[in-house]
Structure 1
Amino acid sequence: MSDTSGREKSLSPQSRQSHQSHRSPPSAAGPAAPRHPVDAVPPLGRLVPLGVQHVLVMYASTIAVPLIVAAGLGLPARDVVALVAADLLLCGIGTLLQSAGVWRVGARLPLVIGAAYNGVVPMVLIGTEYGIPVMYGSIVLAGVFMVAFAPLFGRLLRFFPPVVVGTTITLIGITLVPAGARMIFGGKPGDAGFGAPSGIALGGLTLLVVVLLYRFLPPLLGQLAILAGMVLVTAVALLTGQADFGGVGHGAVASAPEPFHFGYPSFDAVACLSLVLIQFVLMVETSGQVLAVGEAVERPASRRDVIAALRADGVVSTLGGVFQSFMYITFTQNIGVVTLTRVRSRWVTAAAGAILVLMSVFPVFGRVVASVPKPVLGGATLAMFATVAVVGLRILADVRRDTANLVIVAVSLAVGLVPMAVPGAYDQLPQSARMFLDSGVAVGTLAAVLLNLLFHHLPWPRWERPEEETI
């Protein structure tokens, strides 16, 4: 396959026409076209547990951002509760938008939306230096920018051929793996309780049970292997005293998130610009993730799909400034669930969105999920995160095997993995530079785009080289 033609082929007018035919009603003159698995609606008895499975996979990452931001800003417990409720609400609304779609907002693919880790550090810096109202004003403006800029960004997709997209998705998967490992091992070296044998045993047991369920259950039941594995090992943790559900009954049963909890947003040019730059990085990540899930469900995403997905992220980020939570991005973790379970229905992730909205209004559901031991979550998600990297490698497998593409992939992976391999590597640089460089995915993606331009788009000089089996 050509280095640039593969992805562009999926964005061609013919591909878009074929893609749209999956969604158009059958002609009265001809037989009804078979429904693509993406648009199929599973029976309710499977729809709900499959949706719960997606919620469990994303939940740890979903609630981590409110806790980190609250700690960075020194917020009291009452505000933490408000942040978590608002976050769950917007994750649910965003997931519904991406999965079901409203007008030209949402990709109508099995995608979920969650709070963006890349926005945490700049949010805390702005909130500390300029105040929380300015922080939320910056989020509103960054979200509006994303919605407005989405169509123009869609025209740049020709600079994201398979060699770039595959590298980006591989980087995302690799950089996610430590998040699952930290849940198993209890943080990082030096943290209290790090490497506790009980946590390692729970995480390892969860991974083993999930693998065995995949191996021995019938295919239909095997689609619920992740959920079943987490339930079984959580029961073991409860019996051995490693799980505590005593806090589930404490607190309000119903409590709707309130807008403008911290006051009305205000604006500062410098603060807004910093989040707009971060939003551009998030747009690159979302584009790669939409293209990856299109590969996973065997319905290649068109340019229109990517633009619609970017609009959904932007709308939810704008609402993040109103309900005062965070910046939002289409999550990668759940691509692993789609790939492993082979359940491609977007209505499953829509069900997950509805469950998240329900959890935001009835916090008792959130308290149940929060009581699941972190090593269990880590064991279940570790393979999911690694599967994202496998999706990227599958894309790279179709890339033309020549020296130019080898250089693009190798250099981009190398610079993108620096923040993970050497934490704090850029601490001596100005804060504005650190905001970008500490995101290995952003740095690696930028490197892949620039190297692709250098090798495949500049007119001079381009020597013919023999093809080599290098990738």
Structure 2
Amino acid sequence: MAKTTIRPEDERLGLGPTFGYGIQHILAMFGGVIAVPLIVGGAAGLEPAEKALLVACGLFVSGLATLLQTLGVPYFGSQLPLVQGTSFAAVSTILAIIGDDGKEGMQHVFGAIIAAAAFGLVITPFFARVVRFFPAVVTGSIITVIGLSLMPVAAGWITGQATITVDGNVVENPDFASLENIGLALFSFLVVIVLSKIQMLSRLAVLLGLAIGTIVALILGKVDVSTVSSAAPFAFPQPFAFGLPLFEIGAIISMIIVVLVIMVETTADILAVGEVVGTKVDARRVGNGLRADMGASLIAPLFNGFPASAFAQNVGLVALTGIKSRFAVAAGGVVLVVLGLSPMAAAVFSLIPGPVLGGAGIVLFGTVAASGVRTLSKVNYQGNNNLVIVAASLAFGLIPVVSTNFWHSFPDWFVTIFHSGISSAAIVAVLLNLFFNVFLPGTPDEPSGEAAAPPLRVQTGEIEVLSEGGTLAPDSYEPDEKVEGTRAKGTSGHAH
């Protein structure tokens, strides 16, 4: 009888844990998924009720997209634990399309999204084939940048906005980076850390950290519960609530560039979560994931939504909790759909203060970066230029993080692509890998890997072997379980 291999992501948990972990995923991404409609609604001059409609539609579309990505149907869905949500990559382009046109600008936005998403669906088979150009040196660099580039998001949740609007006037925010906000964030951070040490609670550390942090914030008077009572218990998203989409060639071209960036980011997230889960991710699976991404983006404007993308912060949650089941994330998708149909339920989840989210986000996003470092530790740096690939891709990925206006003098299409640290790192890493390891492979005269680490001396029995660059000579070392008495001198810990 043939043995059936169960993939890690196909693990089935009980009903209670499945929805518990699903809610934890939603809490980790909730701030991000509601931020985009709020920003766009403000730029378009929408009324509060119309902004609330945009938020509800964003949750509804994100839930449907998450279900498609995790459960999958033929040719659509990677069947990986990936949460889909409204992409931040599209915000600047959406605001540029809206301009001063208000609601009419929204119609041009929705038309551009439909056309660009259709274009993305058409090119997906070609795009999925690039997966073979993502070896560990590329994926490790991208995953590291994903984690590091998300740190400003966590910091922004903690500090709040530097300015706020009061009676139509922009004034300084007195609570910006206040000791109270930072203290609340650090408290939430410590709760997550402590709970992560308790075996029974470690997998729910983030969920409990958010709950306890919110309770403390409620006691401190930093939570406004009035929004819950004023929200409607049920409301189905009205299709094309802002009018039928309008198609304008300039807006479509701009949105196509955004879609290409989203596809790069989603590809990186699919590969990253595959690495974290420990499952096989091939070109076909990447293609199915991208089709789910583009399919969700295509139908999003019908329900007044914006382009969908995989959320990198939830990759960190998978790594942190060890919950690899795609069904737990699918349960989160069900929760998102319910929240999208019930503004009152959505208001309950929106009570979590930014500092509490930020405190947990530090752990989540740091875990993503640490996963990238772990992947990079498996890379061979001897006799090649892999160290240059890592160095350059990390640098380009962090440029827009540390200097947001670095590329402002370049053409808009270039800014759209390289303003995203994730897409910058992905493009640079793939191109340099092609240059050094595909088109011009070989050993440089002075391998850059020699600077990677000091030499290690490895003693096996009576034979001591010196390995240059901190990497053990492949013919002189076996794992501890195969060769007894193998040990490394120095402070590097386990050499393998």
Q: For residue 197 of structure 2, what is the aligned residue in structure 1?
A: 215
> 1:126 is matched by which residue type in structure 2?
I
Q: Is the 8 A contact 1:122 1:435 kept in 2?
A: yes
Trace 1:132-147 onto structure 2 (pairs within 5 A).
132-147=106-121
Question: Which residue of 148, 164, 178 maps to 1:174?
Answer: 148
Amino acid at match of 2:81: P
Secondary structure of the equivalent of 1:264? coil
SS of the residue corresponding to residue 366 of structure 1 reads: helix
TM-score for both structures, normalised by structure 2? 0.85
Partner Cα distance (1:440, 1:188) in 2:
23
Quick one: distance in 2 between partners of 1:194 and 1:67? 19
Contact conserved, 2:257 with 2:413, CA < 8 A, in 1? no
Task: Provide the rounded CA distance (Å) in 2 between the counterparts of 1:34 and 1:140.
Answer: 39
SS in 2 for 1:329: strand
Match of 2:31 among 46, 60, 74: 60
The answer to which of 125-134 and 95-104 deviates more is: 125-134
CA–CA distance in structure 1, aligned partners of residues 272 and 356 of structure 2: 27
Q: Work out whether 1:310 is the aligned partner of 2:317.
A: no
Q: Which moved more, 1:349-358 or 1:259-268?
A: 259-268
Q: String of CA shifts for 1:261-289, please: whole Å, max 9, x gaps.
A: 11111212221111111111111111111
1:194 matched residue in structure 2: 176
The more displaced of 189-198 and 313-322 is: 189-198
> 1:458 is aligned with what amino acid?
F
SS at match of 1:344: coil
2:393 maps to what in 1? 412
> Across the two proteins, how many residue pairs are aligned to each other?
440
Q: Which residue of 2 aligns with 1:5?
A: none
Matches within 5 A, 1:318-329: 318-329=298-309
SS in 2 for 1:114: strand
Matched, 1:108 2:91: no
TM-score by length of 1: 0.89
Shift of 1:196: 1.0
Q: Which moved more, 1:125-134 or 1:303-312?
A: 125-134
Residue pair 1:230, 1:380 contacting (<8 A) in 2 also:
yes
Structure 1, unaligned runs of 5 or more = 1-29
Mean Cα deviation higher: 192-201 or 205-214: 192-201
Q: Which residue of 1 aligns with 2:139?
A: 165
Conserved? CA contact 2:85–2:311, under 8 Å:
yes
Code of the residue aligned with 1:44 in structure 2: it is L
Aligned equivalents of 1:82 and 1:154: distance in 2? 35
Q: Residue 91 of structure 1 aligns to a residue in which SS?
A: helix
Q: What is the CA-CA distance between 1:352 and the residue it aligns to?
A: 0.1
Separation in 2, partners of 1:462, 1:240:
61
CA distance in 2 between counterparts of 1:150 and 1:90 reads: 21
Indicate the residue corresponding to 1:45 in structure 2: 16
State the Cα distance separating 1:103 from its structure 2 match: 1.2
Change (3 A) 1:188 1:389: farther
The corresponding residue for 1:10 is none
Whether the 8 Å CA contact 2:25–2:329 is kept in 1: the answer is yes
Match of 1:273? Answer: 253
SS of equivalent residue, structure 2 residue 450: coil
The CA RMSD over aligned residues, in Å, is 1.9
Higher RCO by CA contacts (8 Å cutoff, separation 6 or greater): 1
* Mapped contact 1:286–1:330 kept (Cα < 8 A): yes
Q: Does structure 1 residue 206 correspond to structure 2 residue 184? A: no
2:92 pairs with 1:126? no
Moved more, 276-285 or 73-82: 73-82
Deviation at 1:431, TM superposition (A): 3.1
Structure 2 unpaired stretches of 5+: 164-171, 454-496
- Letter paired with 2:438: H
The code of the aligned residue for 1:210 comes to: V
In the alignment, residue 289 of structure 1 is paired with which amino acid? D
Cα distance change on mapping 1:135 and 1:208 into 2, 3 Å: same
Specify the code of the residue in structure 2 equivalent to 1:412: S
Residue 439 (structure 1) aligned with residue 439 (structure 2): no
Q: CA deviation at 1:382?
A: 1.6
Preserved contact between residue 9 and residue 325 of structure 2 (Cα < 8 Å): yes
- Which residue pairs with 1:355 in the alignment? 335
Q: Match for residue 67 of structure 2? A: 96
User: What's 1:384 paired with?
Assistant: 364
Residue 85 of structure 2 aligns to a residue in which SS? strand
Secondary structure at the aligned position of 2:150 is classed as helix
Residues 208-244 of structure 1: CA distance to partner in whole angstroms, max 9, x if unpaired? Answer: 01111111242xx321111111111211221222222
Structure 1 residue 426 corresponds to structure 2 residue 397: no
More helix by share: 1
1:464 to partner: Cα distance: 6.1
Letter in structure 2 aligned against 1:153: F
Identity rate, percent: 38
- For residues 213 and 188 of structure 1, the distance between their equivalents in structure 2, rounded to whole angstroms, comes to 32
Please list the CA deviations of residues 386-416 of structure 1 after superposition, one character each: whole Å capped at 9, or x if unmatched.
1111121122111111451111111121122
* Structure 2 Cα separation of the partners of residues 367 and 96 of structure 1: 22
Q: Within 1, Cα distance between the matches of 2:100 and 2:181? A: 38
2:9 aligned counterpart, secondary structure: coil
Check conservation: 1:48, 1:348, Cα contact below 8 A. Answer: yes
Range 440-449 or range 405-414, more displaced: 440-449
Answer whether contact 2:8 2:279 (CA < 8 A) is retained.
no
State the Cα distance separating 1:444 from its structure 2 match.
2.2
Contact 2:132 2:283 in 1 (8 A): no
Match of 2:318 in 1: 338
Distance in 2, Cα, partners of 1:251 & 1:277: 37
AA of the residue aligned to 1:374: G
Alignment of 1:446-465 (within 5 A): 446-459=427-440, 463=444
Over residues 113-161 of structure 1, what are the superposed CA-to-partner deviations in whole Å (9 max), with x where a residue is unaligned? 0111110011111122772222111100111122221111112222222
Q: How many angstroms apart in 1 are the aligned matches of 2:129 and 2:225?
A: 50
Q: Once the 2 structures are TM-superposed, how far is the Cα of residue 462 of structure 1 from its aligned partner?
A: 6.2
How far residue 324 of structure 1 moved from its aligned partner, in angstroms, is 2.1
Conserved in 2, the CA contact under 8 Å of 1:182 and 1:188? Answer: no
Q: After superposition, give the CA deviation of every residue in 1:426-464 in whole Å (9 maximum; x if it has no partner).
A: 333343332223222222221112211221222488646
Distance 2:284 2:446 in 1: 36
The residue aligned with 2:56 is: 85
Residues 401, 469 of structure 1: 8 Å contact kept? no
Q: Please give the secondary structure, in 1, of the residue aligned with 2:10.
A: coil
> Is residue 261 of structure 2 the alignment partner of residue 261 of structure 1?
no
Residue 178 (structure 1) shift: 1.1
Deviations 1:175-223 (A, max 9, x none): 10110111112235964421111111111000101111111242xx321
* CA 1:129–1:236: 2 relative to 1, 3 Å: closer
CA contact (8 A) 1:85 1:360 kept: yes
8 Å Cα contact 2:8/2:278 also seen in 1: no
